[in-house]
Amino acid sequence: MTGDIVADHQDFDLIVIGAGSGGVRLARMSAAKGARVAVVESRYLGGTCVNVGCVPKKLFVYGSHAGEDIEDSAGYGWSVPGDQVKFDWARLVANKNAEIDRLNGIYARMLDNAGVTVINGTATLADPNTVVVGDQRYSTKHITVATGSWPSIPDVPGSEYMLSSNEMFFLPQLPRQAVVWGGGYIAVEFAGILAGLGVETTLLYRGDLFLRGFDGDIRRFMAQEMVKKGVDLRFGVNIERVESEGGQYQVHLTDGSKLSTGLVMAATGRRALVEGLGLEALGVNMTDSGHVAVDKHFQTAVPSITALGDVIGTPQLTPVALGQGMVLSRRLFGDGQGEMDYSSIPTAVFCQPNIGTVGLTEEEAQEAGYTLRIYRSEFKPMKHTLTGRDERALMKLVVDDETDRVLGAHMVGPEAGEITQGLAVAIKAGATKAQFDSTLGIHPTSAEEFVTMREPVL
Ligand code: NDP
């Protein structure tokens, strides 16, 4: 068992373990280059993103926000008697499930059309060139581990009562109250979904302000907006234990207080999914955080084994995994060139209102030693001039004073994700503030604010 890449008479050129975003992209791209490719998947085609992540989450966000849209329509002349507005959670879940089934089918067809063999089951690596699934052994030149990540719930007494995002997508019914534990992407997104659907929602976060790593202004602003939407935000507190009593949960907090609730959701991060693969026995190294250790070419310590996506600890974002899949395919079966560029990764958090962000935060830019000009604009989105809703938007540009280059753009407001995608191109291209200023706005939009902020606030 040398781990050398051997070239002769294998069943496949590449076996990808995991049919998530990164694995499927790698498999399809590699098959298109003429490689004989198989994907092993134990659960569902499309991985977390399609089944229990980005896609169903966004559908739930639309569903949740629809309630507000109905209320807001009154300002535009519509009469919607409150007692006639009804929401059916089971119908939303069923419709969401039907859409996910459709997407699973599309993934199956895409792989089939690409000539990729799909093997259903759980993979174990018997040696550096053999993958075992059930009682079948498959030999292969290359193996890529693309097994993704799984919710990680801290081991506190009563953690067995907690649900993760996985289960939230299939909740049989909505509770009256919910406690969401954590202060990252998933916590704020689900707190928004639940509150929008009328659930009395409390978000508990151990630090003094949630969304660590985002721009400070964005974090503070988002907290205000979430409170306006009725989310009970409690910072500087953690869960000590949870007890189950008569269908309710008693959540004991580190500050000595107690909450009674119908549901506790843990959104406390995701760990790499590597159990049972047999990686370490083959000499694949793991990082301190439990991810598969790879170099910048996704190469593990074993020559025939590569890894990509959430399992390697790079940002846990679908477009990152897709990008990695394309780069790795080119490395394995193309001209061998290309590296993944992790600079200025744009991202959105689908809380309500949304957050969109790309490039450096003010804090990161300061830390990096830039002299900064900060531009900031806060306003009531035009839509709410007639709805009366007290929702505000925030936009911010972080500019290097010396070169005039825009280092970061950050936003809280409707469609922040849609707006940020275009800005990401400008920032990636190295646009200066003068170029932003010379770009004409699209009127009337919120987005035009990004090209009309004239005076720095700092
Ligand atoms: P995150 O890492 O974003 O957030 C985890 C949160 O849990 C943090 O607030 C963290 O606190 C807290 N936490 C961790 N451990 C403990 C503990 N032992 N006790 C109390 N609190 C704890 O993870 P998520 O689960 O929210 O999401 C996972 C990843 O999935 C995200 O990082 C993101 O990359 C991706 N994702 C992307 C989305 C998007 O693009 N819109 C949507 C959803 C997920 P602290 O900050 O103090 O460490």
- For the packed helices 89-113 and 21-32, what is the interaxial angle rounded to 10 degrees? 20
d(CA 129, CA 112): 24
- 138 C-alpha to center of ligand 1: Å? 37
Q: Supply the DSSP string of 267-295, one letter for each residue.
A: ---EEE--TTS-TGGGT--B-TTSPBP--
Q: How far is the CA of 362 from the centre of ligand 1 (A)?
A: 21
Q: Which domains does the chain have, with CATH numbers?
A: 12-52+92-151+271-333 (3.50.50.60), 159-267 (3.50.50.60), 347-451 (3.30.390.30)
Instruction: Tell how far the Cα of 17 is from the centroid of ligand 1, in angstroms.
Output: 25
Cα 384 → chain centroid: 28
**CB contact at 8 A, 122 and 42:** yes
Q: Are 281 and 305 in contact (CB under 8 A)?
A: no
pLDDT of the chain along its 458 residues, tens only? Answer: 444 555 457 899 999 999 999 999 999 999 999 999 999 999 999 999 999 999 999 999 999 999 999 999 999 999 988 788 999 999 999 999 999 999 999 999 999 999 999 999 999 999 999 999 999 999 999 999 999 999 999 999 999 999 999 999 999 999 999 999 999 999 999 999 999 999 999 999 999 999 999 999 999 999 999 999 999 999 999 999 999 999 899 999 999 999 999 999 999 999 999 999 999 999 999 999 999 999 999 999 999 999 999 999 999 999 999 999 999 999 999 999 999 999 999 999 999 999 999 999 999 999 999 999 999 999 999 999 999 999 999 999 999 999 999 999 999 999 999 999 999 999 999 999 999 999 999 999 999 999 999 999 98
pTM exceeds cut of 0.85: yes
Mutate to test the pocket of ligand 1, among 316, 351, 354 (most ligand atoms within 8 A of CB): 316
Token readout for 40 is: 């092993």
Q: Is 392 exposed, middle or buried (0-12, 13-18, 19+ CB in 10 A)?
A: middle
Please identify, by atom number, the ligand 1 atom nearest to the C-alpha of residue 186: 26
Q: What ligand 1 atom has the least distance to the C-alpha of 151?
A: 25
Q: Whose CA is nearest to atom 30 of ligand 1?
A: 316
> Residue 29, Cβ neighbours under 10 Å: how many?
22
CA 360 centroid distance within chain = 19
- Tokens 């809703």 belong to 389
Per-residue confidence (pLDDT) for residue 2, from 0 to 100: 46
- Local structure of 120: helix, strand or coil: strand
- What pLDDT score does 80 carry? 87
Q: Take residue 57 and report the two structure tokens written for it.
A: 């989450």
Amino acid type, 367: E
Specify the pairing of strand 305-307 against strand 136-145. Answer: parallel
In order of 98, 287, 362, the CA distances from 368 in angstroms are 47, 26, 10
Q: How far is CA 412 from CA 223, 227, 365, in A?
A: 11, 14, 19
Give the angle subtended at the CA of 155 by the CAs of 192 and 57, to the nearest 5°. 25
Q: Rounded to whole angstroms, what are the CA distances from 9 to 31, 129, 139, 141, 397?
A: 17, 12, 9, 9, 56
**DSSP one-letter code for 45:** T
Residue type, 115: G
Q: What is the spatial distance between Cα 437 and Cα 440, in angstroms, rounded to a whole number?
A: 8
The answer, yes or no, to whether the previous bond of 81 is cis (omega within 30 of 0) is no
Pocket probe for ligand 1: among 185, 188, 418, the residue whose CB has the most ligand atoms within 8 Å is 185
- Minimal-distance CA residue to ligand 1 atom 2: 269
Q: Beta strand pairing status for 149-151 and 136-145?
A: unpaired
Ligand 1 atom with the shortest distance to the CA of 207? 47
Return the amino acid letter for 203.
L
Q: Decide if 291 is catalytic.
A: no
Residue 15 CB neighbour total at 10 angstroms: 29
What pLDDT shows up at residue 1?
Answer: 42
Burial 431-440 (b: 16+ CB within 10 A, else e): bebeebeeee
The DSSP line for 296-329 is TTSB-SSTTEEE-GGGGTS---HHHHHHHHHHHH
